[in-house]
A and B are shown apart, each in its own frame.
Chain A
Amino acid sequence: MSNSRDSRSPVSPLPPGSGAAVVDTGFIPVRAKLLEVAAFLDRVERHEVADDFRCEALREAAQVLVDGRPERARRILEKLSDPTSEPDAISSGKAALGAWRPVQK
């Protein structure tokens, strides 16, 4: 069995000083990704496709980022997931789309 905890609790002690390294090396790349999200949301409005189900799913998922609760990555992935449990009768195509669309499943 795994010793999993929530995302704030490591299973074993972290290396000394690791916190500073996480910010020093991680901040700039993540800053860039956050700007990509912001620019994408502006872009789909400018091109009048903001009502695409994937864009709607992205906006809803983004709210998890600032709700102050842990396990943000897990919860965003779950928000974008198919919540049903039965296998589908037929395939809707080879490729997944990244967000769940009930009417097509």
Chain B
Amino acid sequence: MRYIEPHGHMVSRTTDDYQAMVAAGCAAVCEPAFWAGYDRGSVEGFRDYFRQLTEYEPARAAKFLLPHYSWLCLNPKESEDLKLAADVLAMIPEFLGKKNVLGIGEIGLNRNTRNELKVLELHVDLAVRHDQLILVHTPHLEDKKKGTQLIVDLLRSHRGVKPGRVIIDHVEEHTIRQVLDQGYWAGITLYPDSKSSPPRAVDMLEICGRDRIWLNSACDWGVSDPLAVPKTALEMRRRGYDAEFVDQVLYQNPLRFLAQCPRFVLSQPAG
């Protein structure tokens, strides 16, 4: 089996995780910029983090023969400081030419505030101006439904946004149609206690189809499982889905979206 982990915060994980992912068939890992668990205090703090995502972490992954790609942004959790956000966004273009950068993400909303919306709009402008792919984080728990609608409305109002170049992540049963019906890609995140479980993810594939959907573990420093994606393959096979079905959802779908960035090239032969 082969799969792509399209959303993993690998700076938070151990080398054991890299080893286990590769052993399970991981062909590439993509790392969106994330919140550190505390608010970074300066632009220089973000610059150091972006260097980690574009220089150090790809080198660490390469020791396990795993291609590593990254997305850049200021996380929605840090959007309340508008001055810092503006300064960070002004600095991001310094890194957009790095060879493992796929686009702008994970941008989006956390608590659905006006400031978060302002910073989301600035990120979308940045992505459009630089012709970048967009990865959107949708809020947690009770904030997800409203936040997803605010996000979809904002994206739809921006004339430069091409829905096929945007993935809206962390969808669940009450938001997946909001995303797919507008032409965006949808990401299903597999978490032990929140977001989706492997059985619910396969349920959504059965109800909504397997087109424009990827699965990810979003593994980070919190409760999460870096092997959640291959474990979901087991759920598919238990229900009788064949290897082609698994390969399409876990490998070909993320490949199709990510290959819109010319930097995303996998040396592993198809099939």
Report which A residues bind B (CB closer than 8 A).
1-7, 9-12, 14-18, 21-22, 25-26, 71, 73-75, 77-78, 80-85, 87-100
Contacts and interface: CB of A to CB of B under 8 A. Distances in A.
B139 interface: yes
Interface in B172-200: 172-174, 176-177, 180-181, 183, 199-200
B240 A3 contact: no
Given A88-B112, A98-B141, A2 B209 contact: yes
A82 B240 contact: no
A4 B113 contact: no
B239 A96 contact: no
A83 B203 CA distance: 25
Interface in B138-176: 139-146, 149-150, 172-174, 176
B77 to A, nearest CB: 6
B174 A81 contact: yes
Contacts of B102: none
Interface of B: 77, 80, 110-117, 139-146, 149-150, 172-174, 176-177, 180-181, 183, 199-200, 203, 206-209, 211-212, 238-242
Contacts of B146: 81-85
Given A77-B174, A93-B111, A85 B149 contact: yes
B111 A91 contact: yes
B113 A87 contact: yes
Contacts of A82: 112, 142-143, 145-146
Contact of A73 (B139, B173, B212): B173
A64 B115 CA distance: 35
A1 B163 CA distance: 11
A4 B181 CA distance: 9
Instruction: Describe B's contact surface by its main secondary structure.
Output: helix
A82 to B, nearest CB: 5
B150 A97 contact: no
5 contacts: A2-B177, A12-B209, A21-B239, A89-B113, A98-B142
A96 B139 contact: yes
A87 B121 CA distance: 14
A90 B110 contact: no
Contacts of B203: 7, 73
Given A3-B209, A74-B174, A96-B111, 19 more contacts: A2-B177, A2-B212, A9-B207, A10-B207, A11-B206, A14-B206, A16-B240, A18-B239, A73-B200, A78-B145, A81-B144, A82-B112, A87-B114, A89-B113, A91-B111, A93-B111, A97-B141, A97-B142, A99-B142
A102 B150 CA distance: 19
Contacts of B209: 2-4, 11-12
A22 B239 CA distance: 6
A15 B241 CA distance: 6
5 closest Cβ pairs, A-B complex:
A15-B240, A2-B180, A96-B141, A74-B173, A77-B174
Contact of A1 (B111, B183, B240): B183
Contacts of B242: 15
B142 A81 contact: yes
Nearest to B145: A81
Contact of A96 (B143, B200, B238): B143
A66 to B, nearest CB: 18
A5 B80 CA distance: 39
